Structure 1
Amino acid sequence: MTAMQTWAARTVLSQGSVVFDVEARLLQELGERLVASPEVAILELVKNASDADAPECRVSLTSEKGRAALVIADNGAGMSEDDFRTRWMRIAADSKRNPTTKKYGRAVTGQKGIGRFAIRFLGAAVRLDSISVDPATGQKQKLEAIFDWRRLDRNVNLRDAKVPFRVTIAPSDSVTGTKLTVTRLKGDLGGVFSKALLTRVLQIVSPISAFDAGPFARLAGNGEESDPGFSVNFYGFPQSDDEPDLAKAVIGHAWARLKIKATNSKVKYIVTFRDDPEKVELEFDYPNEIKSGLYADIVFAPKRKDAFHGIAVDRREVWTWIRKNSGIGIIDNGFRIRPYGFTDDDWLYLNQDGAHNRRTWRSLIAEENFSLSEMEQARPGLNPALNVPTSYQVIGAVNVSSRAPAEQHEIDLIPAMDREGFLINLAYHQMVEIVRGGIEFLAKADKERLLKIEETLAIQNRAELREDLAETVDAIENDPRLASEEKAALVNHYSQLAVRVVEQEEYDRNARQRLEIAAGLGVVAGFMTHEAEKLFLALDSVIKKLKLKASTEKALHSDISEIQEARDRLDGYIRYTRLYTDSLRSDELRSFSALGQIEWVIDNFGRIAESRGIKTNIDCDDELLAPSIPVAMYSAVLLNLYSNATKAIIARGDDRVPPQILIAAKNDGRFHYLTVHDTGVGIPPQLRRRIWDPFFTTTSRVNSPLGTGMGLGLSLVKDLVQRVGGRAEIIESPTPFSTSIRIAIPRGSNEK
């Protein structure tokens, strides 16, 4: 027996169908619970004026019968009795579903048919006066209605909450439009219409016009007539600080400008720098759910030495304006949407990542289209991720056009019910991804430009130095007051300086070339460590098969041992590479045993030192803990120092001092110290400052089983240690050691 048959078989006491019943206080809920602030409530009424094809909306703070009143008036199409009944008085009216207005083809901004109840947030009573043209007779009619919310709230059933209205013939010279007069302002709202509130309202209804809106410009409508535009004017409010000329000057003289053009299938970034006609561009496929696409115009205004050079405005005014207007806002159908880009909002995670010195890209777009090399991640001076601006350094507008979905499950940018932002769905996440990716592309282009400027400046300085040295030599040779011996000594000294300048130029040029190669090698190293797993599986399979054959063919035993030894050596090299690459990526912070890590490095990588008769000693307490840093980073630093010490001893080539390495670790109240002493060739005093430079090496001609290296070891050690706030330094060596390199890493306040 089915459920319906079981139900029908029971004794029926009553049956029928029931409709939903709504209490009158729903109006209160809609008006007061779905609007979060006065400026959002005013915005909803201004949107109604735009949807009525009004060229102007006037918002006035006035008085009526001695009490403050708020008047919102427009010169749009007005409202007929039918409009009043079927649209204004119908909650969530479907007539709002039309995507554009009839006359000017504007995008309809009201989408849920409940925004008009925002009046409830502003005041307890409203009078509606609207003049429209009767399409049947051509006569102008005036509609008047009174909303007394307190009286309406007394009704239990919404159907009993009746609003009185009347329609009369209006004079033929009357201007069409709608006027809303809000009285009994809620919570003495008339007293809080301050300059700050007006500024917030203006930021929403009149976004900075100096920004390029691209295809979202208001005059791009496709209605029956060309759109004259839409303006919002305020009367009776405190004077605002709106300065359109200053905004235009600041935006026009900013350090850099980013424009983002996105359709529902492609994205294009365009970066331009002040006084530079060349553009930096990137275009790529990016299918997304933002049906109308987006267009962003963002300026980057960092506080740099030559920022706003040539601007005809006091710099203090410039920085004050930037501080007040910073942030990237979202303009939806011509109106700015809260909370994006307003104070304390961080929808693009710019401030969060800046506070944590994030060293990797956040967006997948950046990872896929302009990923960071291992070298860039390791060296802060090269890492553009550290160059991503905070929201206080950017001012901009992201233009979109949200709409009510045609189908219930359709995905697009959809305004939240409370008019604060958008629903968090796939389209919203894609918008964040597109804009964040653009900001990161800007950071990349900016870092490349800064490095280029730095390089050009260095070349100019060295050229000037060469000229100064040449002039000095000429002056010395022509100075009659100097004896011949003095002239010869001084000329020789300055000539040597000139040679050193030339050598430094050559070194820098070669170092830049090597950095480019090393960046590529970092990608290769990451690939090799990943693919090596497959190689080892294949080798282990071969060794296993050979061992089975060796039971009948004894001659294979020595070959198997040789293959196994080679496999283990290769595994050591791969683990070395993986250890370093892991140290760059790892973010796990925890305290750990210093002795355990020292012993692990020696056990896994000390074979070459041991085979050369180099003794490795450890001076570290069993209970000593290293600070809360990535374990892989600590091991990578130690391994670099250990391998450098081994190569230095091999390079010495004599046995006057027993070959030995001492690895010491200790803590004091502030730092954890890790020191590696060796009895190698030592470092001449004049070279001690240069050993930290990339590609500088003192063992380039050593025939070592560890290889000559690229001269990157100590440079990368220094960078890794500085990432955690530490330092690397050469200290005086105790007897019998020739070189001692010490790492100092800060300890946390809670670390014993």
Structure 2
Amino acid sequence: MTGFSVDTKLFQELGELLVSKESIALVELIKNAYDADATVVTVTGVNIGDAEHGQIIVADDGVGMDGGEFRRGFLTIAGRTKNSGDRRSPVFGRRYTGEKGVGRLASHKLGVVVEVQSRKAGPTQRGAAALPSAVSEVNAHIDWAAIEALETLDQIPTSGAVTVVESSKPTKPESGTTLTIAPLRTAWSGRMRTSFLQEAATLAPLPVTWKKLPDGVVAEKLLFDALPIRDQQSSDPGFEVIFGGDLSLGDQLLPDDAAAANWIAEISFDRDSGKLAIALAPTARELRDAPNAEGFRFEKLLGKNAGPSFSARILQLSNNSWTEEISGVRLFMEGFRVSPYGEPRNDWLGLDNDYLSRAKRALTGLARLDADRVPEGLDSEGLTTQGNKNYLGAVFLHRSSSPGLEMVVSREGFLPGAALDFIADWTRVAIDLIVRFKSLARNKPKEVRTQERLAQRTAANRSDVNETPTALRVRENAMEVERKFVNIAQAVERNDFQAAAREAKELQPSLSEIRDMADQFGSEAVQWRVLASLGTELAAFVHEINAVGLQISVLARDLEDALTMDDLARTRASIRKARQRALDLADRIRRNATYLVDATSFEGRRRRARILPRESFEAVRQFFGSRIEQKGITVVNDIPADFRTPPMFPSEVSGIFTNLLSNAVKFTDVGGRIEVTARERGGFCEVQMSNTGVAVDLSRARRFFEAFQSTTERPDAVLGQGMGMGLTITRAFVQEYGGEIDFVAPPPGFATSVCLRIPVR
């Protein structure tokens, strides 16, 4: 019968093909220990500088193997033991890190002979906290040189090149497997050992890349407490790798302090939901150097199965670099580093390339984000890009949720493709966000130029009483632009293109001045409107402060009375009552302070975002809480918890609710009802506030949006009459985004209703 004959050279060919270097060979053996439910694996080098007398010993405390498992697993090349069943380890339920059954060829890469001693643990159930004692032992001898001296694999069983001895009496009670590899194929030079130690330092992720960050490192919460580095069960006691002998890491100190970083970013993508999330925040160290630094949070639905699931944490240094052993952003599959990503001279994210070509001044990765969510960067931000040495990071992958990621045969990275590009692209987006926000935080506000100051003074001298100096400058520049365009048109008609070009060049200063003033007005307009909006509610604020002051006086009197009581029980009861009242007052002051900060702080108008209006309305409602309580009004917040506005400044949303609720409280009858709703309809974000009490004549209602047209015919006892500016300011907020606002027919049971509509896009 005719069949295949396999030459023993197969082992040499497979070993060179599948395991490219010694460090990868050791990683494969360590992964085998992890898959075997080991909690500790020790890798020891003995005299490795001498190939003939050197040894490498890999010992673990895992479940071990009996004779049958040794033959099916270790002696079966490309076996299927990790491809069947649920592909998890037998006791701790770990997701297998290997699946091709070729890890044992790692011993061929390292040495000529391998001695295997494996003690098999007794039977136990999945989820146990520890392994039982050993019940059997296997001792095997594999002589790779003797195998390769044969012609075919068929000759191995009778050659003595491989021997296996089984025993039902283990030499030690503890289970586990020990591989002793000697002699070595290659004498480890000093350079080889140094290179290995550098790689071994990041074989497992540094704690700073996945453990909970210490309190106070970042002021803003990121995405994770601790990142999920492995697909494992809660009963898993953990896994540790110890290097000893000539392979000992010694006293090598690796920076592992999150507080040393300037910025920290985290990324999460779930392929089942298609949700991507990115968050970054300045550290306390960065805030000392750049007090204006602020964090950023972004979410986007990319679609189910858009790429592999992954999570990541990246730490950035501004004026220094991480040590070479740990710098770079590395990839980890089930908690084991995938070479060569993030290693020195590996630029899988293109950071070094962009650092060397900073003249481009472009953060191209940010084009993947919605433009209305990301603040515009400075023209010079590209000059602040940094290379790999300024980043320390880890990207964590799980085998079960990483379809499309396939190892190259040499175990040196993944095959190029869409899955790897997906991870690289979004990781780079997070880094580009760090660059942008770092650049914005450290950019000093430009001073008013002397030329600008003189131009403003000249305009002030020439403007009349009916016009501001700035308005005069805008009008005169606009007239100059108009005149230049007329000259250009006339020059083009007579084919005098040189004159047209000259006029166009002379036009530039006027356009630049108009643009600069427009930028200034645009950045200030929101805050002026917010302050004006708050001013319209000054009466309510004054009343709130007076009410708090009155209650504090009452509290002080109650405490004074408690001191004069003879009955200890009554004294304690009175003090407890006063304590609770003080806590209530503190909470009331805190709520009002929160509202004022939201409404007037720079944070409230620094960056537009998709606001949760339900939360904004609640903050405003508490500000009017005392008057609402006095009138016995029921306020219903019927805005869905997950509903968001189009991108707006937080202070704008607060200002809108402040003015609308103030009017509603004034006009609602005692014991009445106020209701606010929100929905998306016809491409618009629609918010409607309705109240009982006094009705508004819809035919005349539009006039109330004009300045100084107060809706209040008689003053409210607490909130006052009003300045007639609240609805005017609210309309300005809404119209800023191309929206509209008006009084509308109220729903059943209500007297008045105001509805605003802002385009979603």
The AA in structure 1 aligned to 2:436 is K
- Displacement of 1:208 in angstroms is 1.6
Q: 2:256 is matched with which residue?
A: 248
In structure 2, C-alpha distance between the alignment counterparts of 1:301 and 1:426, rounded to whole Å? 30
The residue type paired with residue 397 of structure 1 is A
- SS of aligned partner of 2:19: coil
Write the distance in 1 (CA, Å) between the matches of 2:334 and 2:123. Answer: 29
In 2 relative to 1, CA 190–235 (structure 1 residues): closer, same or farther, beyond 3 Å?
farther
One-letter code aligned to 2:394: A
1:107 deviation in Å? 2.1
Counterpart residue number, 1:23 = 7
The match for 2:573 is none
Report the secondary structure of 1:96's partner residue: coil
Q: CA deviation at 1:198?
A: 1.8
Residue 692 (structure 1) shift: 11
Q: Distance in 1 between matches of 2:387 and 2:372?
A: 20
- Which AA in structure 2 matches 1:280? F
Q: Quickly say closer, same or farther: Cα 1:371–1:70, change in 2 above 3 A.
A: farther
Return 5+ residue gaps in structure 2 as ranges: 125-131, 212-223, 288-292, 461-469, 475-484, 519-761
AA of the residue aligned to 1:432: A
Correspondence 1:49 to 2:60: no
**Correspondence 1:74-85 to 2 at 5 A:** 74-85=60-71
Change (3 A) 1:345 1:697: closer
Amino acid of the residue matched to residue 212 of structure 1?
Answer: W
Match of 1:390 in 2: 387
Counterpart of 2:439 in structure 1 is 447
What is residue 503 of structure 2 aligned with on the other side?
643
Percent identity at matched positions?
Answer: 23
> How much does 1:286 deviate?
1.6
* Cα displacement (A) at 1:243: 5.5
Q: Which amino acid aligns with 1:147?
A: I
Q: CA deviation at 1:114?
A: 0.3
Between 275-284 and 264-273, the greater mean CA deviation after superposition: 275-284
TM-superposed CA distance for 1:320, in Å, is 6.6
Partner of 2:92: 104
Q: 1:282 aligns with which of 298, 304, 307?
A: 298
Given candidates 73, 98, 105, the residue that maps to 1:87 is 73
**Deviation by residue 1:423-464 (Cα, 9 ceiling, x = unmatched):** 22221121112212222222232233234xx12xx67xx8xx
d(CA) in 1 for partners of 2:198, 2:514: 58
- Equivalents in 1 of 2:153, 2:306: separation in Å? 38
The within-5 A match list for 1:57-456 is 57-62=41-46, 67-97=53-83, 98-133=86-121, 135=123, 140-162=135-157, 163-171=162-170, 173-189=172-188, 194-204=193-203, 206-212=204-210, 217=228, 221-222=232-233, 226-237=235-246, 240=249, 247-249=255-257, 251-264=258-271, 265-275=274-284, 279-287=295-303, 289=305, 293-303=309-319, 319=320, 321-357=322-358, 358-363=360-365, 366-370=367-371, 381-382=378-379, 384-402=381-399, 411-451=403-443, 454-455=444-445
CA distance in structure 2 between the aligned counterparts of 1:89 and 1:290, rounded to whole angstroms = 39
* Partners of 2:209 and 2:394 within 8 A in 1: yes
Alpha-carbon shift at residue 392 of structure 1 (Å): 2.1
Name the aligned partner's letter for residue 115 of structure 1: G
Instruction: Report if aligned partners of 1:403, 1:414 keep a CA contact under 8 Å in 2.
Output: no
Deviates more, 1:336-345 or 1:171-180: 171-180
The Cα offsets for residues 685-712 of structure 1, whole Å up to 9 and x where unpaired, read as: xxxxxx69942799x9xxxxxxxxxxxx
The alpha-carbon distance between structure 1 residues 502 and 426, as it changes in their structure 2 partners (threshold 3 A), is same
CA contact (8 A) 1:402 1:415 kept: no
Residues 613 and 25 (structure 1 numbering): CA distance in 2 closer, same or farther, change over 3 Å?
closer
Deviation at 1:127, TM superposition (A): 0.6
User: In structure 1, the residue corresponding to 2:396 is in which secondary structure?
Assistant: strand
Q: 1:289 to 1:19 in 2, by over 3 A?
A: farther
How many Å separate the matches in 1 of 2:264 and 2:397? 19
What's the CA shift for 1:27? Answer: 1.2
Q: Which deviates more from structure 2 when the two are superposed, residues 173-182 or residues 212-221?
A: 212-221
Distance across 2 between alignment mates of 1:375 and 1:298: 22
Within 2, Cα distance between the matches of 1:281 and 1:45? 40
8 A contact 1:216–1:400 mirrored in 2 = no
Q: Kindly tell me: are residues 404 and 128 of structure 1, through their superposed partners in 2, closer, same or farther at Cα, counting changes over 3 Å? A: farther
Counterparts in 2 of 1:404 and 1:188: CA distance versus 1, 3 Å: farther
Query: Could you tell me how far apart the structure 2 residues matched to 1:166 and 1:613 are?
Result: 101
SS of equivalent to 1:417: coil
Question: 1:138 and 1:647, CA in 2 relative to 1: closer, same or farther beyond 3 A?
Answer: closer
Q: Which runs of 5+ in 1 are unaligned?
A: 1-15, 304-318, 406-410, 466-495, 507-512, 518-572, 574-604, 618-638, 649-690, 701-752
3-state SS, counterpart of residue 325 of structure 1: coil
Distance in 1 of aligned mates of 2:421 and 2:61: 38
1:695 alignment partner in structure 2: 513
Work out whether residues 97 and 334 of structure 2, in 8 Å CA contact, stay in contact via their aligned partners in 1: yes
| SS in structure 1 at match of 2:62 | coil
| Cα pair 2:202 2:325 within 8 Å, conserved | no
- Displacement after TM superposition at 1:395 (Å): 1.1
SS of equivalent residue, structure 1 residue 48: helix
Partner of 1:657: none
| Distance (Å, rounded) in 2 between the aligned partners of 1:374 and 1:259 | 19
Question: What secondary structure is seen at the aligned counterpart in 1 of 2:208?
Answer: coil
Q: Using the alignment, how far apart are the partners of 2:405 and 2:394 within structure 1? A: 16
d(CA) in 2 for partners of 1:499, 1:646: 22
What amino acid is the match of 1:608? Q
**Cα distance per residue 1:706-752 (max 9 Å; x no partner):** xxxxxxxxxxxxxxxxxxxxxxxxxxxxxxxxxxxxxxxxxxxxxxx
Residue 175 of structure 1: how far off its partner (Å): 1.5
State the SS of the aligned residue for 1:445: helix
Aligned counterpart, 2:20: 36
Letter in 1 for 2:199: R
Per-residue CA deviation, residues 149-200 of structure 1 (Å, 9 max, x unaligned), is 1110122222322321111133475211011001111122376653342222
- Whether the 8 Å contact between 1:289 and 1:426 is mirrored in structure 2 is no
Helix, strand or coil: the match of 2:256?
helix
- String of CA shifts for 1:331-381, please: whole Å, max 9, x gaps: 111111111000111111112122222344444x633423899996xxxx4
Distance 1:420 1:55 in 2: 26
Cα 1:107–1:375 change in 2 (3 A) is: closer
- Output the amino acid matched with 2:434: L
Specify the alignment match of 1:658 in structure 2. none
Q: What is the TM-score with the length of structure 2 in the denominator?
A: 0.53
CA contact (8 A) 2:54 2:183 kept: yes
Does the CA-based 8 Å contact 1:106-1:218 persist in structure 2? no
**TM-score after normalising by structure 1:** 0.54
The question of whether the paired residues in 2 share the 8 Å contact of 1:59 and 1:232 is answered with yes
